């Protein structure tokens, strides 16, 4: 049955198209993919870097899963990550002296809170005023980038630069006590990776094992029926987006305190800080069938893709944008094959799967809301 | 770009003084470019081992500006010095660049050039982890007191001063359009020098620099230039790899343009008056010689008009009034001889 | 402040605002067509990027602006085929597939740019064309009637699209497909064909938007659009699915943007504060939405693929 | 042109022979053979009824005819020609029209636009609505179908929408018109009007296919009746030879006892009290205007009325889904007015909604999940916020058995259940919470005779258990058979009350039409007096 194959075959299709592109650009696909594989998974250091890249992707992906199950399409990840990073950095700047055991949890929580707030706003607007979240989250991204640039160039800037007549918009070196400890020496595998995985597992339990998750999924699939059943629909929606933002905010914090430079820097764009995790996280979540557990797998896959991307660039001279293009293709293929899968599946109605450990498919368990985007309201 | 060291580093103040002698930094002897490099070449040739050099740069190898100036320098010497060069360009995302730098270091490259001040904070963290790898960081005045970091910078204020004076003489509206990325390092030096030079000719001239906040955003530069033009500016200049945007405007409105970092004549053959060009070759030669000699860092180098690391290249495609040319030559000589003191 | 309220500055500001609004307007008009027929296309930004590059590359190689614009539109059309195939024929979740198209456009446009061009050489942008007589009107002439041809085209398309939607049988089919595709289907209207047509049109508009954006500065760079495509989608909601409303939103964006630029260059707002000032359009849009969302309903079938069995 | 004068698509030239024949139609769906070698034909000028249980295959057969489904086997012949109908467009081209179980109208368009949609315009690319409107007026003239072409569909009542559907068919001058459960949502008066129109259409030589679950209507309207069971034709008989008992037996395959009005139960304390209630509709008009009544424990009160007289708003207000403008609602002495559905349920209200597919179930959820939709947080299903999957399975299995909901498994999505079974599922959920007050809207709309019978029995049983039950239905027969007491709603007020044993169908029909009851029996109903003293 295609259901099984939908996602792997999407990946395959993308790789084939990628090979075609490389050929077109006069590079040898085999060399390219070998470099990509080795760069991503060859050896402990490579694996560490992959995990390092995967952590934020996983957190954002989990956030996407949660929101999506409530029929909210959160494409404000970029902004929420930035806000999380800022909140975390500000906290570290404020209490540099606190011991690690206190400061690390504190900055992570601060980041989570920062993202949560940035997510709660569109959530509230959607629930209360029926404002389409796609729009409000995108707008809030635009606000976030400016706020970030303002804070990093002004209030939070590293003043010691003045002595060398420079003002790069970046914080000073953040308190050592806030740095995320490296778990495997000689690699970049830091505590953040572990945290991300735990969060993903927690999210899975929340969605499919708790009454809150039940309510969240019910609201996502039918606001009317949920209201009729006496569920607090609006509150649930706000919570869903808030949690989604929280996960992204945590990702932001981890980006800062797990970074090599241990500062928060901006080049004027959100991407400069997030590395597009806010969007790639959507790909990751989708590739994980909008199920937090499978999202763990896909996050590491895409983390590897990103790490391998630079290796590919060095080896073949094909810009690492290829990876971005490929992930785009993966998304398109997954959602397209999803329809064929659905058709194939409806051939045997008995296969109306629920929960359980069936292979990854976009619509795992009951399908996520049909029109998260068409959604309701303007 | 420029340094962003948290702890004020004494040598960071280096650019303050211009005369090579007075510089606290190690600078090549005035005549260095020709004979000294020959000598270096000799030593390079004798050392059979190829040196693995990696360049990590924020913009494209052919950006006609910051990155290209370094790429050209590398290419000009790699044969002579038996270098194996790897380049990762367009690394404007700092976090990604950090990973690239790190993996070069871990792959046994002897010298990793982090060509962009935004990479400073990364090097500060990485250098101690790779004590056997030599890092070069520019443009910056600080080595973070690390034994394996070389810093290099450009006194772009000197060329800026010369070109600013020319601009003032060319302008009829007495409004100059000056665009920078971020008020930092060679960009800030160039912009300040430019306005100083302009004011030295006409104290009343309007020279309000605009910083776009981005090294790479071409359209921001274009928009800034447009806004200047709509506010009567009739001579334009700018620094950073994003200037191509502004040059487009200069060409469209047929206004004089002054370039820096690399020659931009090809972008606007009839509008570029002159370009201040960085020549990093002498500095690279020194760094490589040092490395072969077992010294992995700890020195700061500065290119100046004086030591030949900076040159003003006039564009024949622009017919420059004789008096302006004369003024320029006079200033260049003055600065080279240390007679003219360019303010900061 | 005083130096802002001079005829010259105001004129150049408004003129710039209208020029800045054009890409938004073109993209949003196209998106409106699609959404009225029930298809939401989140890939606009990616399509604009690809089209912008195509325009840039052709202009660079041929120096023929008209050909370049056609290349942009062609690219839009091509991506339209992909979008329609995925959203209409393969009935994909439209929000997600849109993000996919966006990522593809983002990556692929820069990939091509770096491999084929590298240095962003500026191309010669088409000159402003004054409209005889009208451009003689003091102040107003300079504001409205001394623009690039694409600007006139964009604003001309507003009444055209409105008319097509409201007074033609094609428009009627579009609205029916967007509100109740089953009903349209039961009357022999091919929902798929209608949606294909609106998506192709919409994406061609997006291509044109990309071209106009590119021609504004005449240079391409990575992520040239900086989310303008997404904003265009937002403006469709802002304009409550009406071309006139969409135009109002686009102008809001263009003008506020232009004003901030001018104030920056005049030193009216400090450089440090300018970042915060730049958030104005986004904030205004969201606030406007609180109002719009309660007054207007979106097409009932928006974002919902049509399947007969349902 | 004038409709009466028209003889559509050569229909009249030979009344005896069928103008349309379906031969050996077979349509399979995963797991089901919806139509199994079905032969079916219609003659010009006749009304041919399709009768059968939910899922018997009536809609499928007609959807095949209309080109919505493609048959796996079989042929379609029209006017002696074999045709293949691969799309509605083709069907329309062949002069076939269909009025679907659920209206096919675009709410946001005007009547004229809905009618014009998909037809060739007299104004080329332009809509030319003026021409269309003129034609619409002609048709409404000719057939007595009152509609305003300029009105938006969302402004129309159910009955008016039905008329628009018919005008759409007439406008296309169909030779064959299929009506799939057209009366499910209509009231006696509207049904009468509809039948008049249909008869007139038949007289003009059009062929009509009629589908309904209401035997009374079938017998009243049909010329011939074909009964389907499990996708097969059981038989075709002229209406003259048909009786209720015969039809039902053919339908289910065995004898079915006709439904007797249950004996009146012993009633206790007033449990649901509504006092001077005012509620607004979605359009802001006051839909419920000062309604007062109460329902006692063990009493079953039925609210009759023409659709759109405030019943929906009344139900939603009681259920807490709509905030009243004024007035009070109490369940078991607890005031609910505007405190939301959760509060209403907490007070002991059970609610079987009118829109079962929209409000009653989360269609993508499994049967099990739908069963705990309301009580998902109760001890039985959850501990410390975590769901007890084992307990849930057991509990749900019990409910499914107890209410014999026909479903492949507990994990089957509700979407795949028939209306009848979905209704049973909802009843199971609502009754398992042991409500003090049960509010049921349109209990059996669109549900076949046997399923309806089962649901009615359940309601009676619940009444015997002392639950106060309020039924809102547009099916007067249903109200008459079930209720201890009938309240008639008209224009947002309770125009009168009646005792089903002492009042005739006609009298209640009069009240539904707005004629005030002169009979003291109604006036003296204690709890029907507006503004009765609150407790
Ligand atoms: N779209 C579909 N997909 C799968 N099975 C279907 C579909 N439509 C109908 N069926 C199957 O075909 C059978 C007949 O369905 P149909 O709707 O024709 O019954 P019906 O006689 O119209 O029922 P009702 O009286 O409730 O309208 C059903 O039992 C159902 O299982
Ligand atoms: N998408 C589907 N998949 C499977 N079965 C379906 C589907 N759609 C309809 N059916 C089947 O078709 C049959 C009839 O469908 P229908 O909606 O007519 O039910 P119904 O009892 O007529 O409800 P109502 O008349 O109130 O709409 C049902 O038994 C259902 O099983
Ligand atoms: Mg049916
Ligand atoms: Mg039915």
Q: pLDDT, tens digit, for every residue of D9-45?
A: 444 444 567 899 999 999 998 778 999 999 999 999 9
Average pLDDT in chain A:
86
Q: Is the dihedral of CA D218, D219, D225, D229 positive or negative?
A: positive
Q: Which residue in chain B has the smallest CA separation from A150?
A: B213
Give chain B's length. Answer: 344
Determine whether the interchain pair A373/C42 forms a contact, defined as Cβ–Cβ distance below 8 Å. Answer: yes
Asked if D113 has any chain C CB less than 8 Å from its own CB, the reply is: yes
Q: Which among D34, D66, D418 is the best mutation to test ligand 1's pocket, defined by most ligand atoms within 8 Å of the CB?
A: D34
CATH class of A51-307: mainly alpha
Total beta-carbon pairs less than 8 A apart between chain B and chain C: 74
Q: Which among D25, D52, D59 is the best mutation to test ligand 1's pocket, defined by most ligand atoms within 8 Å of the CB?
A: D59
Residue D204 neighbours by CB under 8 Å, 6+ apart: D3, D4, D6, D7, D8
Q: Where are the alpha helices (DSSP H) in chain C?
A: 7-36, 44-62, 65-84, 94-112, 140-144, 149-167, 169-179, 181-186, 191-217, 228-238, 243-265, 271-277, 280-295
Q: Is C243 exposed, middle or buried (0-12, 13-18, 19+ CB in 10 A)?
A: buried
Average pLDDT in chain D:
87
- B221, B243 Cβ separation under 8 angstroms: yes
- Contact residues, chain A, for C106 at CB < 8 Å: 321, 324-325, 328
> Above 50 in pLDDT, residue C196?
yes
Determine whether the interchain pair B219/C219 forms a contact, defined as Cβ–Cβ distance below 8 Å. Answer: yes
CATH of range D3-95+176-252; options 3.40.50.300, 3.40.50.12780, 1.10.10.10, 3.40.50.10490: 3.40.50.300
Question: Does D35 sit in the ligand 1 pocket, CB within 6 Å?
Answer: no
Query: Residue D406, CB half-sphere, CA atoms under 13 Å: how many?
Result: 9
Nearest CA to ligand 2 atom 21: D419
Rounded to 10 degrees, the C-alpha dihedral B112/B114/B119/B122 comes to 10
| φ/ψ of residue B173, rounded to 5 | -75, -15
Rounded to 10 degrees, the C-alpha dihedral D364/D366/D371/D373 comes to -40
Q: Is the dihedral of CA D250, D252, D253, D258 positive or negative?
A: negative
Q: Of the given ranges (C73-77, D147-151, D241-245), which has the lowest mean pLDDT? A: D241-245
- D51, D218 Cβ separation under 8 angstroms: yes
Highest mean pLDDT among C108-122, D43-57, D244-258 belongs to D43-57
Residue C6 neighbours by CB under 8 Å, 6+ apart: none
Question: Does D230 sit in the ligand 2 pocket, CB within 6 Å?
Answer: no
Around Cβ D531, how many Cβ atoms within 10 Å? 11
| φ/ψ of residue D496, rounded to 5 | 180, 170
Q: Tell me, what's the pLDDT at A347? A: 52
Residues facing residue D279 across a β-bridge: D288
Rounded to 10 degrees, the C-alpha dihedral A96/A97/A102/A107 comes to 0
Q: What is the pLDDT of residues A227-278, one digit of tens each?
A: 999 999 999 999 999 999 999 999 999 999 998 889 898 877 888 899 889 9
- For residue A24, report the distance from its CA to the centre of ligand 2, in Å: 52
The candidate with the shortest Cα–Cα distance to D42, out of D119, D98, D102, D2, is: D98
Q: What is the pLDDT of residues D190-235, one digit of tens each?
A: 888 899 999 999 999 999 999 998 888 999 999 999 999 989 999 9
- For residue B23, report the distance from its CA to the centre of ligand 4, in Å: 93
Question: Does D54 sit in the ligand 1 pocket, CB within 6 Å?
Answer: yes
Asked if D126 has any chain C CB less than 8 Å from its own CB, the reply is: yes
> Above 90 in pLDDT, residue D515?
no
Q: What is the pLDDT of residues C118-145, one digit of tens each?
A: 777 788 777 777 777 777 777 777 777 7
- Contact residues, chain D, for A354 at CB < 8 Å: 366, 368-369, 411
Pairing of β D349-352 and β D437-441: parallel
> Above 50 in pLDDT, residue D383?
yes
> Above 90 in pLDDT, residue B171?
yes
Q: What angle do CA A317, A322, A323 make, to 5 degrees?
A: 120
Nearest to D104 among C169, C170, C183 (CB): C183
- Contact residues, chain C, for B90 at CB < 8 Å: 114, 222
Pairing of β B51-56 and β B83-88: parallel
Question: Does D500 sit in the ligand 2 pocket, CB within 6 Å?
Answer: no
**What is the average pLDDT across B291-320?**
91
Percent of chain D with pLDDT over 90: 63
Q: Which among D418, D447, D475 is the best mutation to test ligand 2's pocket, defined by most ligand atoms within 8 Å of the CB?
A: D418
Nearest CA to ligand 1 atom 7: D29
Cα–Cα distance list, A83 to A130, A193, A251, D455 (Å): 24, 20, 10, 56
Residue C28 neighbours by CB under 8 Å, 6+ apart: C232, C233, C235, C236, C239, C246, C249, C250
Q: Tell me, what's the pLDDT at D258? A: 66
Determine whether the interchain pair D127/C176 forms a contact, defined as Cβ–Cβ distance below 8 Å. Answer: no
- How many angstroms away from the CA of B318 is the closest CA of chain A? 34
Determine whether the interchain pair B248/C261 forms a contact, defined as Cβ–Cβ distance below 8 Å. Answer: no
Query: Which regions of chain D carry the CATH code 3.40.50.300?
Result: 3-95+176-252, 259-348+435-535
Q: Which atom of ligand 1 is nearest to the CA of D57?
A: 18
- For residue B219, report the distance from its CA to the centre of ligand 2, in Å: 57
Residue C150 neighbours by CB under 8 Å, 6+ apart: C22, C26, C69, C126, C208, C211, C212, C215
- D86, D50 Cβ separation under 8 angstroms: no
- How many angstroms away from the CA of C12 is the closest CA of chain B? 7
Best of B6, B87, B100, B139 to disrupt the A interface by mutation (most A CBs within 10 Å)?
B6
**CA atoms of B218 and A370, how far apart (whole Å):** 41
Percent of chain A with pLDDT over 90: 57
Question: Do chains C and B have 3 or more beta-carbon pairs under 8 angstroms?
Answer: yes
Q: CA end-to-end span of chain B, whole Å?
A: 16
- Give the 3-state secondary structure percentages of chain A, helix then strand then coil, rounded to 5: 70, 0, 25
DSSP state of D479: H
- A220, A214 Cβ separation under 8 angstroms: no
**CA atoms of D443 and D360, how far apart (whole Å):** 12
Q: Is the dihedral of CA D55, D58, D59, D61 positive or negative?
A: positive
Asked if C192 has any chain D CB less than 8 Å from its own CB, the reply is: no
**What is the average pLDDT across D378-401?**
91
- pLDDT level of residue B14 (50, 70, 90 thresholds): very low
**What is the average pLDDT across B180-207?**
90
**CA atoms of D32 and D29, how far apart (whole Å):** 5
Q: Is D45 left (phi over 0), alpha (psi -120 to 50) or beta?
A: left
Q: Tell me, what's the pLDDT at D166? A: 93
- D50, D229 Cβ separation under 8 angstroms: no
**CA atoms of B182 and C228, how far apart (whole Å):** 24
Question: Does D423 sit in the ligand 2 pocket, CB within 6 Å?
Answer: no
Q: Tell me, what's the pLDDT at D474? A: 82
The candidate with the shortest Cα–Cα distance to B343, out of B215, B194, B227, B202, is: B194
DSSP C79-97: HHHHHHIIIIIS---HHHH
Q: What is the pLDDT of residues C19-68, one digit of tens each?
A: 999 999 999 999 999 999 999 999 999 999 999 999 999 999 999 999 99
Domain ranges within chain C, ordered by starting residue:
2-122+142-295
Longest dimension (CA), chain B: 60
**CA atoms of D351 and D242, how far apart (whole Å):** 38
CATH of range C2-122+142-295; options 1.10.3470, 3.30.70, 1.25.40, 1.20.1740: 1.10.3470
Question: Does D50 sit in the ligand 1 pocket, CB within 6 Å?
Answer: no
Best of A235, A351, A352, A368 to disrupt the D interface by mutation (most D CBs within 10 Å)?
A352
**CA atoms of C226 and C229, how far apart (whole Å):** 8
Asked if C182 has any chain D CB less than 8 Å from its own CB, the reply is: yes
Higher pLDDT, A377 or B192: B192
**What is the average pLDDT across A132-155?**
90
- How many angstroms away from the CA of A82 is the closest CA of chain D? 32
CATH class of D259-348+435-535: alpha beta
**CA atoms of C190 and C205, how far apart (whole Å):** 23
Q: What is the 3-state secondary structure (H, E, C) of B83-151?
A: EEEEEECCCCCHHHHHHHHHHHHHCCCCEEEEECHHHHHHHHHHHHHCCCCEEEEECCCCCCCCCCEEE
| φ/ψ of residue D232, rounded to 5 | -105, 150
Nearest to C122 among B62, B231, B267 (CB): B267
Asked if D27 has any chain C CB less than 8 Å from its own CB, the reply is: no
- D212, D218 Cβ separation under 8 angstroms: yes
> Above 50 in pLDDT, residue A312?
yes
Pairing of β D468-472 and β C146-147: unpaired
- pLDDT level of residue B286 (50, 70, 90 thresholds): very high
Total beta-carbon pairs less than 8 A apart between chain A and chain D: 95
Q: Cα–chain-centroid distance for residue A276?
A: 9
Asked if C81 has any chain A CB less than 8 Å from its own CB, the reply is: no
Q: What is the 3-state secondary structure (H, E, C) of D21-57?
A: EEEEEEEEECCEEEEEEEEEEEECCCEEEEEECCCCC
The helix or strand, by DSSP H or E, that contains position D245, with its residue range, turns out to be helix D244-252
DSSP state of D9: G
> Above 80 in pLDDT, residue D46?
yes
Cα–Cα distance list, B125 to A61, A208, B109, B247, B337 (Å): 29, 43, 17, 37, 40
Q: Which residue in chain B has the smallest CA separation from A160?
A: B6
Nearest CA to ligand 2 atom 30: D418
- Contact residues, chain A, for D366 at CB < 8 Å: 352, 354, 366
Determine whether the interchain pair A149/B188 forms a contact, defined as Cβ–Cβ distance below 8 Å. Answer: no
Nearest CA to ligand 1 atom 29: D55
DSSP B18-63: -SGGG-SS----GGGGTHHHHHHHHHHHH--SPEEEEEE-SS-TTS
Residue A58 neighbours by CB under 8 Å, 6+ apart: A196, A197, A199, A200, A281, A284, A295, A296, A299, A300
**What is the average pLDDT across A134-158?**
89
- For residue A1, report the distance from its CA to the centre of ligand 4, in Å: 32
Q: Tell me, what's the pLDDT at D163? A: 92
Higher pLDDT, D153 or B22: D153
- Contact residues, chain A, for D386 at CB < 8 Å: 209-211
Q: Is D42 left (phi over 0), alpha (psi -120 to 50) or beta?
A: beta
- For residue D149, report the distance from its CA to the centre of ligand 4, in Å: 29
**CA atoms of B255 and B248, how far apart (whole Å):** 10
Domain ranges within chain A, ordered by starting residue:
1-27+318-378, 51-307
ipTM: 0.82
Q: Is D70 left (phi over 0), alpha (psi -120 to 50) or beta?
A: beta
**CA atoms of D202 and A169, how far apart (whole Å):** 82
Q: Which atom of ligand 1 is nearest to the CA of D213?
A: 25
Nearest CA to ligand 1 atom 26: D54
- Helices C149-167, C191-217: crossing angle, 10 deg rounding: 160
């Amino acid at each position: 049955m295609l259901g099984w194959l939908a996602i792997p075959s999407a990946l395959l299709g993308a790789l084939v198209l990628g090979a075609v592109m490389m050929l077109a650009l006069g590079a040898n696909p085999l060399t390219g993919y070998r470099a990509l594989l080795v760069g991503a998974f060859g050896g402990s250091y490579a694996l560490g870097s992959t995990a390092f890249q995967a952590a934020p992707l996983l957190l954002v992906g989990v956030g996407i899963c949660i929101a999506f199950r409530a029929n909210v399409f959160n494409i404000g990840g970029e902004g929420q990550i930035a806000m999380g990073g800022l909140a975390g950095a500000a906290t570290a700047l404020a209490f540099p002296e606190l011991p690690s055991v206190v400061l690390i949890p504190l900055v992570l929580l601060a980041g989570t809170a920062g993202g949560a707030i940035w997510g709660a706003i569109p959530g509230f607007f959607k629930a209360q005023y029926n404002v389409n979240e796609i729009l409000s989250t995108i707008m809030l991204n635009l606000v976030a980038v400016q706020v970030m640039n303002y804070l990093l160039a002004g209030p939070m800037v590293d003043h010691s630069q003045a002595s060398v007549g420079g003002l790069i918009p970046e914080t000073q070196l953040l308190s050592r006590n806030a740095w995320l400890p490296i778990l495997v020496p000689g690699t970049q595998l830091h505590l953040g990776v572990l945290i991300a995985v735990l969060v993903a597992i927690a999210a899975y339990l929340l969605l499919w094992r708790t009454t809150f998750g039940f309510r969240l999924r019910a609201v996502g699939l039918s606001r009317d029926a949920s209201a009729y059943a006496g569920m607090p629909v609006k509150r649930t929606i706000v919570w869903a987006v808030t949690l989604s933002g929280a996960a992204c905010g945590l990702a932001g914090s981890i980006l800062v305190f797990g970074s090599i430079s241990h500062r928060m820097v901006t080049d004027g764009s959100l991407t400069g800080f997030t590395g597009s995790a806010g969007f790639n996280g959507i790909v990751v979540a989708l590739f994980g069938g909008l199920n937090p557990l499978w999202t763990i797998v896909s996050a590491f896959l895409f983390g590897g893709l990103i790490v391998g991307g630079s290796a590919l660039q060095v080896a073949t001279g094909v810009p690492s944008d290829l990876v971005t293009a490929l992930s785009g293709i993966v998304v398109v293929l997954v959602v397209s094959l999803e329809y064929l899968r659905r058709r194939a599946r409806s051939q045997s109605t008995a296969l109306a799967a629920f929960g359980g450990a069936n292979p990854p498919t976009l619509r795992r368990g009951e399908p996520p809301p049909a029109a998260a985007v068409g959604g309701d309201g303007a | 770009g420029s340094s962003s060291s948290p702890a004020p580093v004494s040598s960071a103040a280096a650019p303050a003084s211009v005369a090579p002698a007075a510089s606290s930094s190690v600078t090549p002897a005035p005549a260095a470019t020709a004979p000294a490099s020959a000598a270096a070449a000799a030593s390079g040739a004798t050392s059979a081992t190829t040196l693995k050099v990696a360049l990590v740069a924020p913009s494209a190898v052919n950006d006609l500006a910051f990155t290209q100036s370094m790429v050209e320098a590398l290419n000009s010497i790699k044969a002579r010095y038996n270098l194996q060069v790897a380049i990762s360009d367009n690394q404007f995302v700092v976090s990604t660049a950090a990973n690239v730098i790190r993996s070069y270091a871990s792959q046994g490259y002897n010298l990793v050039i982090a060509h962009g001040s935004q990479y400073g904070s990364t090097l500060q963290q990485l250098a101690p982890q790779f004590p056997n790898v030599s890092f070069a960081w520019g443009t910056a005045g600080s080595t973070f007191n690390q034994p394996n970091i070389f810093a290099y910078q450009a006194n772009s204020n000197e060329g800026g001063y010369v070109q600013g004076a020319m601009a003032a003489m060319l302008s009829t509206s007495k409004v100059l359009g000056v665009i920078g990325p971020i008020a930092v390092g060679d960009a800030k030096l160039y912009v300040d020098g430019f306005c100083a030079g302009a004011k030295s000719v006409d104290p009343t001239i309007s020279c309000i620099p605009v910083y776009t906040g981005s090294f790479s955003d071409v359209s921001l530069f274009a928009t800034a230039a447009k806004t200047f033009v709509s506010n009567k500016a009739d001579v334009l200049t700018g620094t950073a790899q994003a200037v191509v945007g502004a040059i487009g405007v200069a060409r469209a409105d047929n206004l004089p343009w002054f370039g820096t970092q690399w020659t931009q004549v090809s972008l606007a053959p009839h509008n570029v008056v002159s370009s201040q060009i960085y020549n990093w070759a002498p500095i690279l030669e020194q760094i490589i010689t040092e490395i072969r000699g077992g010294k992995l860092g700890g020195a700061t180098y500065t290119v100046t008009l004086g030591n030949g690391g900076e040159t003003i290249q006039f564009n024949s495609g622009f017919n420059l009034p004789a008096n302006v040319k004369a003024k320029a030559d006079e200033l260049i000589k003055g600065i080279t001889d240390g007679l003219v003191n360019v303010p900061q | 402040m005083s130096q802002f309220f001079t005829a010259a500055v105001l004129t150049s500001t408004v003129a710039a605002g209208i020029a800045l609004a054009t890409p938004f307007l073109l993209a949003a008009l196209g998106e409106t067509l699609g959404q009225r027929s029930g298809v939401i296309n989140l890939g606009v930004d990616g399509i604009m990027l690809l089209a912008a590059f195509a325009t840039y590359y052709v202009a660079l190689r041929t120096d023929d602006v008209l050909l370049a614009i056609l290349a942009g539109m062609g690219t839009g059309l091509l991506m339209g085929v992909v979008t329609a195939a995925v959203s209409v024929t393969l009935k994909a979740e439209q929000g997600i597939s849109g993000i996919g198209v966006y990522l593809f456009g983002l990556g692929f446009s820069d990939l091509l740019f770096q491999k084929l061009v590298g240095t962003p050489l500026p191309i010669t942008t088409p000159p402003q064309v004054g409209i005889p007589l009208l451009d003689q009107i003091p102040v107003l002439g300079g504001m409205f009637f001394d623009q690039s041809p694409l600007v006139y085209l964009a604003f001309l398309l507003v009444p055209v699209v409105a008319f097509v939607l409201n007074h033609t049988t094609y428009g009627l089919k579009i609205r029916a497909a967007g509100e109740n595709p089953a009903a349209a289907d039961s009357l022999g209207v091919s929902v798929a064909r209608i949606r294909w047509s609106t998506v192709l049109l919409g994406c061609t508009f997006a291509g044109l938007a990309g071209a106009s954006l590119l021609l504004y500065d005449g240079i391409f760079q990575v992520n040239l659009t900086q989310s303008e495509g997404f904003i265009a989608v937002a403006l469709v909601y802002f304009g409550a699915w009406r071309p006139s409303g969409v135009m109002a939103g686009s102008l809001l964006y263009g003008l506020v943007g232009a004003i901030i630029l001018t104030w920056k260059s005049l030193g009216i707002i400090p450089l440090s504060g300018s970042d915060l000032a730049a958030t104005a359009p986004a904030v205004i849009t969201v606030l406007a939405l609180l109002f719009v969302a309660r007054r207007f309903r979106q097409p009932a079938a928006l974002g919902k693929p049509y399947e007969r069995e349902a | 042109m004038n409709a009466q004068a028209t003889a559509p698509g050569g229909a009249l030239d030979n009344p005896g022979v069928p103008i349309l024949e379906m031969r050996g139609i077979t349509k399979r769906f995963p797991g089901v053979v919806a139509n199994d070698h079905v032969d079916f034909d219609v003659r010009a000028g006749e009304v041919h009824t399709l009768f059968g249980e939910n899922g018997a295959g009536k809609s499928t057969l007609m959807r095949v005819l209309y080109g919505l489904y493609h048959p796996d086997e079989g042929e379609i012949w029209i006017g002696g020609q074999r045709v293949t109908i691969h799309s509605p467009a083709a069907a329309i081209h062949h002069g076939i029209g269909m009025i679907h179980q659920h209206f096919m109208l675009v709410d946001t368009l005007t009547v004229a636009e809905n009618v014009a949609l998909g037809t060739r315009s007299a104004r080329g690319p332009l809509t030319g609505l003026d021409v269309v409107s003129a034609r619409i007026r002609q048709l409404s003239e000719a057939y007595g179908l009152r509609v305003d072409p300029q009105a938006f569909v969302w402004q129309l009542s159910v009955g008016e929408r039905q008329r628009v559907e018919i005008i759409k068919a007439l406008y296309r001058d169909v030779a064959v018109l299929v009506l799939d459960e057209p009366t499910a949502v209509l009231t006696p008066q509207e049904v009468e009007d509809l039948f008049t129109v249909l008869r007139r259409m038949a007289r003009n030589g059009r062929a009509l296919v009629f589908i309904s679950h209401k035997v009374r209507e079938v017998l009243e309207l049909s010329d011939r009746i074909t009964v389907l069971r499990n996708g097969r034709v059981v038989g075709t008989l002229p209406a003259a030879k048909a009786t209720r008992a015969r039809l039902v037996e053919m339908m289910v395959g065995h004898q079915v006892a006709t439904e007797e009005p249950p004996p009146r139960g012993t009633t206790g304390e007033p449990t649901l009290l509504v006092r001077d209630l005012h509620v607004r509709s979605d359009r802001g008009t006051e839909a419920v205007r000062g309604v007062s009544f109460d329902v006692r424990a063990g009493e079953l009160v039925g609210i009759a009325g023409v659709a759109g007289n405030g019943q929906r708003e009344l139900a939603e207000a009681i259920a807490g889904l709509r905030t009243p403008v004024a007035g009070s609602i109490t369940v078991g002495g607890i005031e609910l007015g505007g405190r939301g559905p959760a509060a209403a349920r907490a007070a002991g209200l059970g609610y079987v909604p009118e829109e079962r597919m929209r409000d009653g179930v989360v269609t993508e959820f499994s049967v099990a999940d739908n069963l705990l939709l309301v009580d998902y947080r109760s001890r039985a299903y959850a501990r410390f916020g975590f769901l007890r999957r084992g307990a849930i399975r057991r509990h749900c299995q019990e409910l499914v058995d107890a209410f014999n909901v026909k479903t492949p498994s507990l994990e089957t999505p509700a979407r795949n259940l028939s209306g009848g079974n979905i209704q049973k599922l909802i009843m199971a959920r609502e009754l398992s919470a042991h409500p003090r007050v049960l509010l049921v809207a349109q209990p059996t709309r669109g549900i076949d005779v046997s399923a309806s019978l089962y649901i009615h029995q359940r309601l009676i049983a619940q009444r015997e258990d002392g639950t106060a039950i309020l039924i809102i239905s547009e099916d007067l027969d249903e109200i008459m058979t079930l209720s201890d007491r009938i309240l008639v709603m008209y224009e947002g007020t309770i125009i009168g009350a009646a005792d089903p044993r002492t009042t005739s169908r006609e009298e209640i029909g009069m009240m539904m039409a707005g004629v005030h009851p002169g009979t003291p029996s109604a006036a003296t109903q204690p709890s029907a007096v507006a503004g009765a003293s609150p407790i």
